[in-house]
Amino acid sequence: MKVNDLLFLDRCCDLARLGGAAVSPNPRVGAVLVYQGRIIGEGFHQQAGGAHAEVECVRSVQQEDRPLIPKATLYVSLEPCCFHGRTPACTSLIQEQGIKEVVIGQIDQTAEVSGKGISILTSAGVNVRSYPAHKGCQQVARERQVFATEKRPFVQLKYAQSADGFLAPLENTTYWISSPQSRILTHRWRSRSGAILVGAKTVIQDNPQLNSRLYPGPDPLRIVVDPKGQCSGKELVFQEQSSNAPTLWLRPDAAIESTADQLEIIDLSKRLPSNEYWGKGLLKFLFAILHQRELHQLTVEGGAAILRLFLEAGQWDEILRFTNPQKYFGAGVEAPSLTRLSGTQPDGQHIRGAVTAPEVQKIGGDILEVFYPRS
């Protein structure tokens, strides 16, 4: 392990994070060219169908430094692609530029790559080093890896709770728990997510728009899970003026007619048996839809039943929990219990539970905790 390798891979991750939802369905990737400890070029993937990080990196090298490219080391957060899709293979670019040393953070788990990029480079005489345990590279590649290996989007659960563990007070009213700063951060996450999902009860009670209006960026695809057909179709989430993104409405029939161009009603009665409108059967069906649409990330924002559905099925990858330490409800809608998920099921199978939060931050007046599944 070389200290400089880790340093420059960290820089690759910083660059990769600049790529937002516009890169989907491609992964976020950053690349750096280094000659004798000096960065002579860097770049990141900015938009699907556009130049990859390696191409942007080589393009950025100043004219006086271009003779140094064959002598430089290329650092990239994810294994270079080795097939011609909408853009040429990056392995070909590396060989054309005469680069003899490449350091990568993660092996791309997609079937078209999955080590083939490394094999092509090493066969061409390129010295390749990889750091699969590099946390930053794991982080920026996580959506790609989950999508490739589990055939579903990376699932992020997000919710806010009172200091005594409630999602909402007992009275049936819309109630802001989190601070204005936390809400802006939530909208930033939305702008980087492919899709956002809520249940019918949240739509009826809160009438959310589910857009990213508090932060510049694209709105996510909006998904409403309504297995009992409780929504009227007049709520804001179904209206075109509330978002530039479409809405998927999963309901038990297609009886409601709508003139909204961006509203797509999915009739569950034609897709699933009635006993699978809720539970693992519904999630499997939902994931198949999102995988087909090449959506790599799904943010689930509630309510309580929807959150528990994903938790109890073990179909989640990250939990973002805001707690307002100043608000106490005493009673109301209980937040999901994460400690309950750490035991075993009656058949002895381990429940995919939450580990100790690897990071705790203060956002405005709130405490943000990030949880990951127990491996």
Q: How many CA atoms, within 13 angstroms, populate the side-chain half-sphere of residue 265?
A: 19
∠290-108-46 over CA atoms, to 5°? 70
CB distance 34 to 40 below 8 Å: yes
> Tokens 């994810």 label which residue?
78
Q: Which residues contact 64 (CB under 8 A, 6 or more apart)?
A: none
How many C-beta atoms lie closer than 10 Å to residue 328's C-beta? Answer: 12
Please say whether the beta carbons of 325 and 177 come within 8 A.
Answer: no
Strands (E), 80-235: 101-106, 127-130, 154-162, 166-169, 195-199, 221-225
Spell out the long-range contacts of 267-272 with Cβ–Cβ below 8 A and sequence spacing 24 or more. Answer: 268/227
Q: Which residues are catalytic?
A: 54
Nearest-angstrom CA–CA distance, 130 and 125:
16
* Short-list 373, 370, 375, 367, CA closest to 177: 367
Q: DSSP letter string over 230-291?
A: ---S-SGGG-GGG-SS-EEEEES--------TTEEEEEGGGTS-GGGSSSHHHHHHHHHHHH
